[in-house]
Amino acid sequence: MTKYYFINKFDTNLINQQDKKTVFIYRNYLNFNLEEILKLKQFCKKKRYKLFLANNIKLSLKLNLNGAYIPSFNRDTIHLSYSKPKDFLIIGSAHNLKDIKIKEIQGVNTIFLSSIFKTNKNFLGLNRFKLISKLTRKEIIALGGISKKNFKQLNLTKASGFAGISFFEQKKGP
């Protein structure tokens, strides 16, 4: 199961605690720092981690990252005119069927469907998550409110992975 970890700063301590199946998505909309992205890229390359950049496909391509993440609020299709390497992946998030169809038009490889457990305005719950995920042929990743307590419930879905922030920042051990 692939794990996607949303990070907003370069912290080697948190990154080193993750296993090799963890993919990092740099998502810092407020304080965009190119120098920090370059350091993170070098670190991830050295450790053989995959790195995606949120909401900036052009820069992801320019920096030769593994891919880009398109948030649900981004509905642009301008990136379809860019030439991309074959191994460059585009992933995106969706909250409902309309968002899923938009992500399919945007040409994403994988869709992050949220929110599976986190009770917010986009809360789907386990059953609606399973129903909506059947409405696309794209790979589905569970997003939102995943913790060590409800982690086993992901096996009830056909999600090929999960994404989050707090799950990865939980303390290990007693």
Query: Rounded CA gap, 114 and 92, in Å?
Result: 11
- pLDDT at position 173 is 44
At 171 the pLDDT is 57
**87: CATH:** 3.20.20.70
What is the per-residue pLDDT for 174? 43
Q: Does residue 136 fall inside a structural domain?
A: yes
Domain contains 163: yes
Residue 43 lies in a domain: yes
Query: Which residues touch 170 (CB under 8 Å, ≥6 apart)?
Result: 147, 148
Task: Name residue 114's beta-bridge partners.
Answer: 143
Report helix, strand or coil for 73: coil
Its sign, for the CA torsion 118, 119, 120, 121, is positive
How many domains, in total, are found in the chain? 1
Q: Is 93 a member of any domain?
A: yes
Assigned domain for 114 exists: yes
Is residue 14, in this structure, part of any structural domain at all?
A: yes
pLDDT at 169: 79
Q: Model's pTM, two decimal places? A: 0.92
Residue 174 counted as domain residue: no
Task: Look up residue 161 and give its amino acid.
Answer: G
Specify the 3-state DSSP secondary structure of 2.
strand
- Indicate whether 150 belongs to any domain: yes
Range(s) of the domain holding residue 11:
2-169
Q: Mean pLDDT per segment of 10 residues, for the chain of length 174 residues?
A: 93 90 91 91 96 96 97 94 95 96 97 89 90 95 91 92 86 50
